[in-house]
């Protein structure tokens, strides 16, 4: 009974949520989203609800505002869509980058109860101080300041109450909308919006486990241990759970406060170049990068060192991804568009049969205008964006990890040029990329590979003599077996030859007997046969003897 009641309640809730979506779309005059398949039935409702609604904003702006009205799940989905230039026009994708993941906070007392329940201890046993006023509030979690019993300052990130229920409910509606788009929109099958929602579902669910973010932060801290470039705060694992994350509090100036940094005497040129170095180090050395490096997540220490927070969204790159990116960047800045085209074809990211000359020409068309600007204004991120847009013409599937990297790179570039407008990314990136490529080939790469595999061979070395002895025994036994099998085959072949010879002799003997008997009968009856026919019988007998002899010769075994 309870399960039926719960199911009915969920259906009713989903219905009213769908009605709210329709109302929001109507209020922002987004009618074309109600004209897909069954949505056409809602057109009369749309016109009624749109009465008195007047909007002068662009469609991209109206979409952004509608997503903000629909709540945190739709906001984060819009942010995810902003990284998909293959799916959206550039103006709408840009507008979605302006979405802010900020929602009103929930009660700090409720946050403290969640902490106590998750960690199984009272607040007095955990903290000397817990600030009930949240420091920041977002769609999935909010952050509070606290002090541990040993006096260390920490931030406590707490998952929102019932956020999983809200997300699962809204994901169901997103799947429904995506299915309609995929089925009824002409571009739907190519863009595969259902797969996009699946990808988003995986991302949003990973953010619902604070241990995932803690693990990301710990990994990045190991990668930059002892580095002067960036500092990653410490994770307190004994105080971290699925719903609670406790992390060292860092102090620094928000990187967006450029005037303050200048007054502090921070070298802005170095700070900008360090940001580029951090990005390329993460991407090419580690293959693991912070994918949410917007100004709100970056602080600067007095000595100019970067300090990062919020590790919920991270990107990963395979060795193949790194090769692809390095070859594209180097080819782009050398204006070697054929190398860029070949990098795509060799990676098998364009359909089979694509002509390299045609793809090269398309890349040249979109990239050459970029070089009309001074090199200090050339954007790596926009170059990747141009590649992705060119890929749409060739039906090339967009790799999600590369799109995430492109978004991060745009953030880094924009931030770097705010800090130092004359920033030349190529000045920093070119030697980095060329050194990385050199390390992938030749003696250096061989030495690194041998060093990486040394533990394996050290473990295998004591067993090598016995393995060689076993191998030689196997070879000897195989030779004996092969010899025996060959002898059996030879014997069988000889038996078959003997049987064939016997069959031939029987056949020839039978033919001779029949011929001789026929000839004898003809001879005995020759008295009543006219001489000319008689003579022809003799001819027949002679011919038969010649035929038997010929057959015997021809069928003689060789």
Q: Is residue 79's pLDDT more than 70?
A: yes
Confidence of residue 387 (pLDDT cuts 50, 70, 90): confident
d(CA 167, CA 172): 9
- The pLDDT value given to residue 528: 43
- Residue-wise pLDDT for 395-453, tens only, equals 766 667 777 787 788 788 888 888 998 888 878 888 888 788 777 765 565 565 565 55
- The pLDDT value given to residue 548: 56
Rounded to the nearest angstrom, the gap between the alpha carbon of residue 50 and the centroid of all alpha carbons in its chain is: 41
Highest-confidence range of 191-200, 203-212, 398-407, 458-467, by mean pLDDT?
A: 203-212
Q: Which of 59-73, 188-202, 286-300, 418-432 has the lowest mean pLDDT?
A: 188-202
User: Mean pLDDT across the stretch 326-350?
Assistant: 82
**Does the global pTM surpass 0.95?**
no
Q: Is residue 219's pLDDT more than 90?
A: yes
Confidence of residue 381 (pLDDT cuts 50, 70, 90): confident
- The pLDDT value given to residue 86: 59
Catalytic residue among 241, 274, 292, 321: 292
| Contacts within 8 Å (CB) and 24+ apart, 226-234 | 228/305, 229/274, 229/277, 229/278, 229/281, 229/305, 229/306, 230/278, 230/305, 230/306, 230/307, 230/308, 231/301, 231/305, 231/306, 231/307, 231/308, 232/307, 232/308, 233/307, 233/309
317 vs 395, which has greater pLDDT? 317
User: Mean of the per-residue pLDDT values for the chain?
Assistant: 78
- For residue 477, give both structure tokens: 């036994």
d(CA 95, CA 79): 10
d(CA 381, CA 384): 5
- The pLDDT value given to residue 524: 59
292 is catalytic: yes
Q: Is residue 223's pLDDT more than 50?
A: yes
Contact 283, 429 (CB under 8 A): no
DSSP 104: P
Q: Which of 73-82, 108-117, 459-468, 492-501 has the lowest mean pLDDT?
A: 459-468
Q: How big is the CA angle at 372 (ends 371 and 378), to the nearest 5 degrees?
A: 50
What is the radius of gyration, based on Cα positions, of the chain? 40
Percent of the chain past pLDDT 90, that is, above it, reads 27
- The pLDDT value given to residue 89: 74
Q: Is residue 36's pLDDT more than 70?
A: no
Rounded to the nearest angstrom, the gap between the alpha carbon of residue 194 and the centroid of all alpha carbons in its chain is: 16
- The pLDDT value given to residue 211: 96
**DSSP secondary structure string for all residues of 485-540:** HHHHHHHHHHHHHHHHHHHHHHHHHHHHHHHHHHHHHHHHTGGGS-HHHHHHHHHH
Three-state SS string over 448-500 comes to HHHHHHHHHHHHHHHHHHHHHHHHHHHHHHHHHHHHHHHHHHHHHHHHHHHHH
Q: Is residue 526's pLDDT more than 70?
A: no
User: Mean pLDDT across the stretch 346-357?
Assistant: 76
Confidence of residue 529 (pLDDT cuts 50, 70, 90): very low
Q: Which of 43-57, 156-170, 293-307 has the lowest mean pLDDT?
A: 43-57
143 vs 4, which has greater pLDDT? 143
Q: Count the residues in the chain.
A: 558
Q: Which of 241-250, 365-374, 516-525 has the lowest mean pLDDT?
A: 516-525
């Amino acid at each position: 009974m309870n399960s039926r009641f719960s199911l009915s309640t969920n259906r009713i809730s989903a219905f009213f949520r769908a009605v709210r979506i329709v109302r929001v779309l109507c209020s922002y005059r987004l009618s074309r989203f109600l004209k897909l398949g069954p949505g056409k039935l809602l057109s009369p409702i749309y016109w009624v609800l749109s009465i008195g609604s007047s909007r002068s904003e662009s469609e991209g702006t109206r979409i952004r505002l509608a997503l903000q009205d629909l709540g945190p799940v739709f906001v984060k989905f819009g942010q995810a869509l902003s990284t998909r230039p293959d799916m959206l026009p550039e103006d709408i994708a840009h507008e979605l980058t302006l979405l802010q993941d900020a929602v009103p906070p929930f009660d700090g007392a409720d946050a403290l109860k969640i902490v106590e329940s998750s960690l199984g201890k009272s607040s007095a046993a955990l903290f000397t101080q817990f600030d009930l006023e949240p420091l920041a509030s977002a769609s999935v979690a909010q952050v509070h300041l606290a002090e541990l019993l040993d006096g260390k300052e920490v931030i406590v990130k707490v998952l929102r109450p019932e956020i999983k229920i809200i997300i699962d409910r809204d994901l169901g509606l997103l799947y429904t909308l995506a299915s309609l788009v995929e089925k009824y929109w002409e571009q739907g099958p190519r863009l595969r919006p259902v797969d996009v929602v699946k990808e988003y579902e995986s991302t949003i669910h990973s953010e619902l486990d604070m241990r995932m973010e803690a693990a990301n932060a710990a990994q990045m801290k190991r990668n930059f241990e002892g580095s002067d470039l960036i500092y990653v705060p410490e994770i307190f694992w004994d105080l971290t759970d699925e719903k609670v994350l406790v992390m060292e509090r860092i102090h620094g100036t928000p990187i967006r406060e450029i005037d303050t940094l200048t007054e502090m005497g921070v070298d802005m040129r170095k700070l900008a170049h360090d940001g580029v170095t951090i990005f390329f180090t993460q991407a090419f050395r580690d293959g693991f990068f912070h994918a949410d490096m917007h100004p709100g997540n970056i602080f600067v220490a007095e000595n100019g060192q970067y300090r990062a927070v919020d590790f919920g969204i991270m990107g990963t790159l395979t060795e193949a991804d790194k090769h692809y990116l390095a070859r594209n960047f180097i080819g782009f800045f050398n204006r070697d568009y054929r190398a860029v085209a070949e990098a795509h074809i060799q990676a098998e990211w364009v359909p089979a049969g694509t002509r390299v000359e045609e793809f090269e020409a398309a890349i040249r068309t979109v990239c050459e205008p970029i070089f009309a600007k001074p090199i200090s204004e050339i954007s790596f991120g926009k170059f990747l964006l141009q590649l992705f847009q060119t890929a749409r013409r060739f039906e090339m599937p967009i790799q999600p990890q590369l799109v995430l990297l492109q978004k991060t790179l745009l953030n880094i570039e924009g931030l770097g040029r705010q800090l130092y407008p004359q920033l030349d990314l190529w000045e920093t990136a070119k030697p980095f990329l060329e050194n990385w490529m050199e390390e992938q080939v030749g003696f250096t790469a061989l030495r690194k590979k041998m060093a990486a595999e040394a533990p394996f061979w050290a473990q295998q070395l004591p067993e090598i003599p016995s393995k060689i002895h076993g191998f030689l025994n196997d070879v000897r036994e195989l030779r004996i077996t092969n010899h025996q099998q060959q002898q059996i085959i030879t014997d069988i072949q000889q038996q078959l030859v003997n049987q064939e010879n016997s069959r031939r002799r029987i056949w020839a003997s039978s033919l001779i007997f029949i011929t001789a008997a026929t000839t004898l009968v003809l001879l005995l009856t020759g008295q009543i046969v006219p001489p000319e026919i008689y003579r022809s019988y003799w001819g027949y007998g002679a011919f038969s003897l010649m035929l038997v002899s010929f057959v015997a010769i021809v069928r003689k075994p060789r």
